[in-house]
Amino acid sequence: MKIWIDADAAPRDVKEIVFRAAKRLQVETVMVANLRLTPPPGNPFVSAVRVEGGPDVADRHIAENAAPGDLAVTADIPLAAALVEKQVKVLDPRGDEHTPDTIGERLSVRDFMDGLRGAGVETGGSRPYGDRDKQAFAAALDRVLTRLLRAKR
């Protein structure tokens, strides 16, 4: 089992929570981004992959390399949809788990909002990432990792 982090846009707090869990549970973790990343010192379980720049290159790398039973952390809904289809567990940075039952609706809402923005409608955007989001993510990460590690035994 591996943890994949879509690191281009993941909040620093999310990465740090995953790094601590990876070290504690000894789970290989891969950050993927189109910019240079430095794995945390003293944590042999975290590595970084730098992909060439361009739209969705990091997403494609994760989608092509993640395997059933892995966990991915991403806010990218199309990537989440591709991963759920591959039986990869997916968490967003706010602690929401994407599943086969929920991803279709999330993809539809994302496409609808994208269409509104394309038509010039001001849609606002996401609320700032805060302490409540960080706590929700940490709790969800613990739940999902516990399930995945139990299934692995």
Residue 1 has a pLDDT of 95
The model's pTM: 0.87
For 59-96, what is each residue's pLDDT tens digit?
999 999 999 999 999 999 999 999 999 999 999 999 99
Cβ(80)–Cβ(92) below 8 Å: yes
Structural domains of the chain, ranges and CATH numbers in brackets: 2-152 (3.40.50)
- The conformational region for residue 113 under phi > 0 = left, psi -120 to 50 = alpha, else beta, is alpha
The residue ranking higher by pLDDT, 32 or 106, is: 32
The per-residue DSSP string of 73-140 comes to E-S-HHHHHHHHHTT-EEE-TTSPEE-TTTHHHHHHHHHHHHHHHHTT-----PPPP-HHHHHHHHHH
For 88-144, what is each residue's pLDDT tens digit?
999 999 999 999 888 777 776 666 667 766 777 776 667 788 999 999 999 999 999
Average pLDDT over residues 19-48: 96
CA dist list (Å): 92 to 44, 46, 80, 100: 24, 19, 9, 15
Average pLDDT over residues 43-52: 96
SS3 151: helix
Distance in angstroms (rounded) separating the CA atoms of residues 72 and 92: 8
The per-residue DSSP string of 59-76 comes to HHHHHHH--TT-EEE-S-
Nearest by Cα to 60 from 77, 36, 82: 82
